[in-house]
Structure 1
Amino acid sequence: MPLSPSSSAQAAREVVAFRLRDLRKSAGLTVTDLAGLCGWHHAKTSRIENARTAPSATDIRRWCRAASAEDQAEDLIAQSLHAESMYTEWRHQVRSGLKKLQDSAVRFFHETQLFRVYSSSLTPGLLQTEGYAAAVLGISAKFQDLPVDDSADAARARVKRSSVIHEPGHRFVLLIEEAALHYRIGDSDAMAAQLGYLLTAGALPQVSLGIIPMATPERTQWPRETFHMYDDNLVSVELVSARVRITQPSEIALYLKAFEELRSMAVYGQAARTLIVKAIDALT
């Protein structure tokens, strides 16, 4: 079972913290000794060693200099930056608006050949209609207390970005829990249009759309957090507070294993369309 995304990011921070602690101990320095050589309070050393505070590049260089291990500084800095980039808070990402956040991924989408998406709560962004996307992003704007609600512009940008689904050279394997088809996002018209579009998009030759029935007996995977896999290079996981980027091959392999097990429980083709039509009928 994969670590939770936030745990994965914390584990990466702890690797850096442990390496720094080992350098201090190997140099025969106490926490207070190292703090004195670095010019800060000993409590800061403890916070860094216990992965409660992320060290800056300057902190790491001072630490390595004090421990006579300057040759390890740049490697530790790179490792620390990677750990911090894994976990990016939404409030930082949306600071410049939701539309800019959508636009920032356009080039990356064009470069990705294989998209794998598992969603337990929403229609995947790649298949969202403008009305549904506006409702989703409007909820996000209110929740994040954004000073300017640009969710309508962001929805148009999301749909434009999703046009990659019609371009040659890309494949899409998309899994949705049946329950997500019934969650009312937006009004009935927006939901009906969204579910209708799933019937159309799911028939595209480059798209494999699977629905995991709520009545699936003896599940091998319970509903997981929504995650996106881009080729075999990146997994992106969306939490309430942050987006986590996972690039460690061993962790990507675990997500792929989970994805394949979820995919084995899904239904496709006419069986999937039947579940979508059932959700449409439930709107009336």
Structure 2
Amino acid sequence: MSTDFQQARIALGARLRELRTEAGLTVRGLAAECGWAPSKISKLENGKQTATPADVEAWAAGVGRPESAAELKGRLAGLESTYRSWRRQLAGGHRGVQDALGAQHERTRVFRGFTASVVPGVFQTPEYARSVLSRYAELHGAARDVEAGVTSRLRRQEGLYVHGKKYRVLMGESALHARICSSSVLADQLDRLMSVNGLSTVELGIIPLSADVRIAAGDDFWIHDDRLVIAESWHAEMWLDSPEDVALYSKVWAALDAGAVRCRTAHQVIARARAALIRS
């Protein structure tokens, strides 16, 4: 969880506490009004739990200030603009998530990305993308509109053929072997990866399993120009735009980049993974 997000959650909690105390309610008193356990009130006020829109509506009604719900929802929306829960995002379907990323791709000229164990979406075949999105939808219990998500994801690949854009992408070698799809789909995906490696807009680096690395691989992330970082974890996506965060991720990318191989050597690493599929 990002420091910025946690600070915003604590600030929201302080405002919730202020509304409760102004109403002359105890923790137990407000819990009774809302039909919650007192522990939920404490967690929300102390920034230990993220409120939902329904939570802040109930809070506003419980303290006798229903008009404050709009303010609280605004604060919550600002918080979620940094820290975006996959569960909440996918509740509205895959297309919205992919379209939001697509809007950022249209704005960006230079991408610096890292993926540890999956081929990046901008290089994915339709079948590989379908498999990836389906697996994550299953994880989060949100199987709606996978096909619409695939279509939106593939639309971003148009940027690969736009003059002036640059995709500087790092991948862990394990991504070439991960069976998140069938072996035939993975084979086609590796063929696709070898073909995009020759594009003038693409600078692909593979970090071999045997590489000496300056830093251990962590979560996947993308740096959009020098203005925005979109980082992924199992439970959320973080959109970070502070200069400090962008500088940190740029430093991480550079450290990972030091262990990567490129051009013909990268092609050979991909080809070996492709040959291993045939033997298996």
- TM-score when scaled to structure 1? 0.77
Instruction: Mark the runs of 5 or more structure 2 residues left unpaired by the alignment.
Output: 31-40, 61-70
Distance, in Å, in 2 between the alignment partners of 1:140 and 1:46 is 32
Answer yes or no: is 1:239 the counterpart of 2:233: yes
Letter in 2 for 1:187: S
Letter in 2 for 1:270: R
Identity %: 31
Task: Answer whether contact 1:36 1:42 (CA < 8 A) is retained.
Answer: no
Per the TM alignment, residue 95 of structure 1 is displaced from its structure 2 partner at its CA by 1.8
Shift of the alpha carbon at 1:192?
A: 1.0
Tell me which of 35, 41, 51 is aligned to 2:26.
Answer: 41
Q: Is 1:263 the counterpart of 2:257 in the alignment?
A: yes
Q: Provide closer, same or farther for how the CA distance between residues 252 and 132 of structure 1 changes in structure 2, counting only shifts above 3 A.
A: same
2:128 is the counterpart of 1:140: no
Residue 119 in structure 1 maps to residue 104 in structure 2? no
1:47 shift after superposition: 4.7
Tell me how far 1:161 sits from its aligned partner. 2.1
User: Matches of 2:79 and 2:226 in 1, distance apart?
Assistant: 19
- For 2:255 and 2:173, the matched residues in 1 are separated by 16
Name 1:109's counterpart in structure 2.
105
The 8 Å contact of residues 87 and 243 in structure 1, kept in 2 or not, is answered as yes
Which of residues 172, 176, 188 is equivalent to 2:171?
A: 176
Deviations 1:135-159 (A, max 9, x none): 10111222222353x3234223211
- 1:205: Cα distance to partner? 1.2
Distance 1:122 1:8, change over 3 A: farther
1:146 and 1:112, CA in 2 relative to 1: closer, same or farther beyond 3 A?
same
- When the two structures are aligned, how many residues end up with a matched partner? 254
> Which amino acid letter does the alignment assign opposite residue 250 of structure 1?
E
Q: CA RMSD in A?
A: 3.1
Secondary structure in 2 matching 1:136:
helix
SS in 2 for 1:214: coil
Please tell me whether the aligned partners of residues 98 and 154 of structure 1 are also in contact (alpha carbons under 8 angstroms): yes
Candidates 202, 222, 244, aligned match of 2:197 = 202
Relative distance call for 1:109 and 1:36 in structure 2 (3 A) is closer
Q: Which moved more, 1:181-190 or 1:80-89?
A: 80-89
2:246 partner SS: helix
Tell me the residue number matched to 2:147.
152
* 2-structure distance, mates of 1:77, 1:13: 12
Equivalent position of 1:83 in the other structure: 79
Output one character per residue of 1:18-75: Cα deviation in whole Å (capped at 9) or x when no partner: 7x79xxxxxxxxx8x9844244435778655522356969x89xxxxxxxxxxxxx9x
- How far residue 97 of structure 1 moved from its aligned partner, in angstroms, is 1.9
Structure 1 gaps of 5+ residues are 22-30, 61-73
Please give the alpha-carbon distance, in whole angstroms, between the structure 2 residues aligned to 1:37 and 1:145. Answer: 40
* Residue 254 of structure 1 pairs with residue 256 of structure 2: no
User: What residue identity is the alignment partner of 1:242?
Assistant: A
Cα deviation, 1:169-209, whole Å, max 9, x if unaligned, reads 31111000011111012112211111111111111111110
Look up the SS of the partner of 1:244 in the other structure: strand
DSSP 3-state at the match of 2:277 = coil
TM-score by length of structure 2 reads 0.78
